[in-house]
Amino acid sequence: MLKRIYDWTDERTGLVSMAEEEMHKPLPPGVGWPFSLGSAILFLVIVQFVTGFTLATLYAPTPDHAYASIQYLERNVPYGRIVRGLHHWTASVVVIVMFLHLLRTLIYGAYKRPREMTWMFGVGLFFVMLGFAFTGYLLPWDQKSYWGTVVGTEIAASVPLVGEYVLRLMRGSNDVGALTLSRFYAVHVMLLPWLLIGLLSGHLFLVRKLGTAGPWAEHQGENARPNPFYPNQVFKDMVVAVGIGAFVLYMAIQVGAPLEPVANPAATDYIPRPEWYFLSLYQLLKYLPGRLEVVGTFILPTLGGIALFFLPFLDRSPERHPLKRPWVVGIAGVTTLGIAILTAVAMFTNPKQPGAETPVADPTMTGPVTAAADPVRGKKLYEDFACGSCHVISGQGNAVGPELTHVGSQRDAAYLKKKTINPKFDNPESIMPPTQAPPKDIDDLVAYMESLK
Ligand code: HEC
């Protein structure tokens, strides 16, 4: 039966035998693990389409409802937290895998004639991916995304001549607001996906048409065993994709996606931080004095982007061995190292949000609960600590202790904090166990209870 469907389709389209032929095409000997990153990216892109679509069915792209819709998704929609976590973590992982894929291609000199266009499509895809990251960052409309976008769009304003115009084009008005959100959303779900599909089709078509460039040195003689795409390479591709998929799923379940308090345009003391893939640039800006800032915000990234895009025309010799192309490989190495160091420095010098100095959790502690506390994480901690074995929230749990469904409107944060750390403080007979946890955990737990109005 299956065979008849195959034959029927093949007779009319020729697709089946074409696919089969592709599957069994021999690859150059020496193609192996480093070549599996491309299909891993394809896999991650599919994950993003599926999770992105699912998120879009619930998300409301207006300042009044965006945050609430995400909160609702996190708290009340079954698996909502995981779907959002998957989208969040895949976005980060895909940037890393794309970078490695690009680096691999560069080291192998695979962008050289006749593969210049494959390379250019690929670099285009990399920029599209960064565009996804930048526009997606704003959508949850929490403090982090709001202030990150304020700064991100300000960077665009530093472009000579057209800067102010670009700023207004992105924001839709003078400030980041409702118009910015709908613009970013439209770009994120309408424009970029189509660009992605277009560039990806071009890229894949050329990869298939030209075949892989293979390793730089021909493996000859004894080493030259036949290396068909299926099953050899397909197996390696699957292992890598499944491995990355498992990591992303683990992070989505264990950590989830962050959600800070709702965006507050009046909170000008908030210290904005971009997402990690823009951190290196952000760190670089700190070393540049005011007048030279444009070097970091505009000149370097633009020149770098152009050089990357036109690399096949800058390095035209047919030589592919990395050690015989010291300039290209050297510059790539230094740049990669520079980005890695700047990112690491920025990560470890994480400035504290004002008021974020969390006091040590001792039983007498009465310190304020910080604004940076994360109720979503708190909800998870509530589950981890099995508070539900004695408390009911919205019908869930055991009624040994009082119901906590509306505890946020009955008790203030200071009380909740004291009670969680030392239940005996107001009731020496309390049977509730004291909670021993790092201050951040206590704060998040309290933030969660505070949110139960
Ligand atoms: C062994 C059962 C038990 C567990 C587990 C437990 N509690 Fe309680 N909790 C109680 C009881 C009983 C009371 C009410 C009597 C009292 O004040 O001690 C209470 C009171 C509270 C109150 C005060 C409610 C109010 O408005 O009066 C809060 C808040 C609270 N618990 C939070 C938590 C949190 C958070 C956890 C998990 C870290 C937790 N509880 C775990 C039994 C428990």
At 131-175, the pLDDT tens digits run 999 999 999 999 999 999 998 898 888 888 898 999 999 999 999
317 CB near ligand 1 (under 6 Å) = no
435 CB near ligand 1 (under 6 Å) = yes
Number of residues in the chain: 453
Q: Which pLDDT score, from 0 to 100, does residue 439 have?
A: 83
Q: Which pLDDT score, from 0 to 100, does residue 358 have?
A: 39
Residue 417 burial class via C-beta count within 10 angstroms: exposed 0-12, middle 13-18, buried 19 and up: buried
The answer to which of 40-54, 263-277, 410-424 has the lowest mean pLDDT is 263-277
Tell me, what amino acid is at 146?
A: Y
392 CB near ligand 1 (under 6 Å) = no
The residue contributing the CA closest to ligand 1 atom 32 is 420
d(CA 193, CA 116): 24
Assess whether pLDDT exceeds 70 at residue 96.
yes
Q: Which pLDDT score, from 0 to 100, does residue 218 have?
A: 62
Q: How many CB atoms lie within 10 A of CB 362?
A: 10
Q: Which pLDDT score, from 0 to 100, does residue 223 have?
A: 56
Q: Which pLDDT score, from 0 to 100, does residue 352 have?
A: 58
Q: Which residues contact 161 (CB under 8 A, 6 or more apart)?
A: none
Residue 437 burial class via C-beta count within 10 angstroms: exposed 0-12, middle 13-18, buried 19 and up: middle
More confident of the two residues 103 and 386: 103
Which tokens hold the place of 252?
């989505």
Q: Which pLDDT score, from 0 to 100, does residue 266 have?
A: 84
The answer to which of 188-202, 219-233, 292-306, 356-370 has the lowest mean pLDDT is 356-370
Q: Which pLDDT score, from 0 to 100, does residue 428 have?
A: 81
d(CA 296, CA 221): 50
447 CB near ligand 1 (under 6 Å) = no
Q: Are 296 and 96 in contact (CB under 8 A)?
A: no
Q: Which pLDDT score, from 0 to 100, does residue 219 have?
A: 53
Assess whether pLDDT exceeds 60 at residue 58.
yes
Assess whether pLDDT exceeds 70 at residue 367.
no
Q: Are 105 and 214 in contact (CB under 8 A)?
A: no
Q: Which residues contact 114 (CB under 8 A, 6 or more apart)?
A: 210
Q: Which pLDDT score, from 0 to 100, does residue 54 have?
A: 97
Q: How many CB atoms lie within 10 A of CB 126?
A: 18
Q: Which pLDDT score, from 0 to 100, does residue 77 have?
A: 92
Q: Which pLDDT score, from 0 to 100, does residue 335 have?
A: 93
416 CB near ligand 1 (under 6 Å) = yes
Start-to-end Cα distance in the chain: 60
Q: Average pLDDT, stretch 401-428?
A: 87
Q: Determine what percent of the chain is predicted with pLDDT higher than 70.
A: 93
Q: Which pLDDT score, from 0 to 100, does residue 365 have?
A: 44
Nearest to 106 by CA among 277, 98, 453: 98
Q: Which pLDDT score, from 0 to 100, does residue 234 have?
A: 85
Q: Average pLDDT, stretch 187-194?
A: 97
Q: Which residues contact 183 (CB under 8 A, 6 or more apart)?
A: 170, 171, 172
d(CA 303, CA 300): 5
d(CA 159, CA 162): 6
CA-CA distances (angstroms) from residue 302 to 46, 66, 168, 308, 341?
29, 33, 20, 10, 20
Tell me the CA–centroid distance for residue 425 and ligand 1, in Å.
12
Among the atoms of ligand 1, which is closest to the Cα of residue 424? 18
Q: What angle do CA 407, 409, 414 make, to 5 degrees?
A: 75
Q: Which pLDDT score, from 0 to 100, does residue 294 have?
A: 84
Nearest to 35 by CA among 296, 239, 335, 300: 239
Q: Which residue has the tokens 């009955």?
A: 410
Q: Are 105 and 122 in contact (CB under 8 A)?
A: yes
Tell me the CA–centroid distance for residue 287 and ligand 1, in Å.
50
Q: What angle do CA 63, 149, 276 make, to 5 degrees?
A: 125
Assess whether pLDDT exceeds 80 at residue 104.
yes
114 prior amide bond cis, ω within 30? yes
Q: What angle do CA 449, 451, 453 make, to 5 degrees?
A: 100
d(CA 249, CA 87): 10
Among 384, 432, 446, name the best residue to mutate to test ligand 1's pocket (greatest count of ligand atoms within 8 A of Cβ): 432
Assess whether pLDDT exceeds 60 at residue 328.
yes
Is residue 6 very low, low, confident or very high in pLDDT (cuts 50, 70, 90)? confident
Assess whether pLDDT exceeds 60 at residue 228.
yes
Q: Average pLDDT, stretch 252-256?
A: 92
Tell me the CA–centroid distance for residue 362 and ligand 1, in Å.
18
Q: Which pLDDT score, from 0 to 100, does residue 170 have?
A: 95
Q: Are 346 and 280 in contact (CB under 8 A)?
A: yes
Q: Which pLDDT score, from 0 to 100, does residue 212 have?
A: 80
400 CB near ligand 1 (under 6 Å) = yes
Q: Are 135 and 188 in contact (CB under 8 A)?
A: yes
CA-CA distances (angstroms) from residue 441 to 255, 318, 383, 417?
13, 57, 12, 11
Tell me the CA–centroid distance for residue 395 and ligand 1, in Å.
16
Tell me the CA–centroid distance for residue 394 and ligand 1, in Å.
16
Q: Which pLDDT score, from 0 to 100, does residue 355 have?
A: 43
CA-CA distances (angstroms) from residue 7 to 11, 13, 23, 24, 230?
6, 10, 17, 19, 21
The residue contributing the CA closest to ligand 1 atom 40 is 387
Is residue 353 very low, low, confident or very high in pLDDT (cuts 50, 70, 90)? low
d(CA 316, CA 112): 7
Assess whether pLDDT exceeds 70 at residue 52.
yes
Q: Are 123 and 63 in contact (CB under 8 A)?
A: no
Mean pLDDT of the chain: 87
Q: Determine what percent of the chain is predicted with pLDDT higher than 90.
A: 46
411 CB near ligand 1 (under 6 Å) = yes
The answer to which of 106-120, 334-348, 358-372 has the lowest mean pLDDT is 358-372
Among 384, 409, 419, name the best residue to mutate to test ligand 1's pocket (greatest count of ligand atoms within 8 A of Cβ): 419
Q: Are 129 and 188 in contact (CB under 8 A)?
A: no
Q: Average pLDDT, stretch 111-115?
A: 91
d(CA 244, CA 98): 13
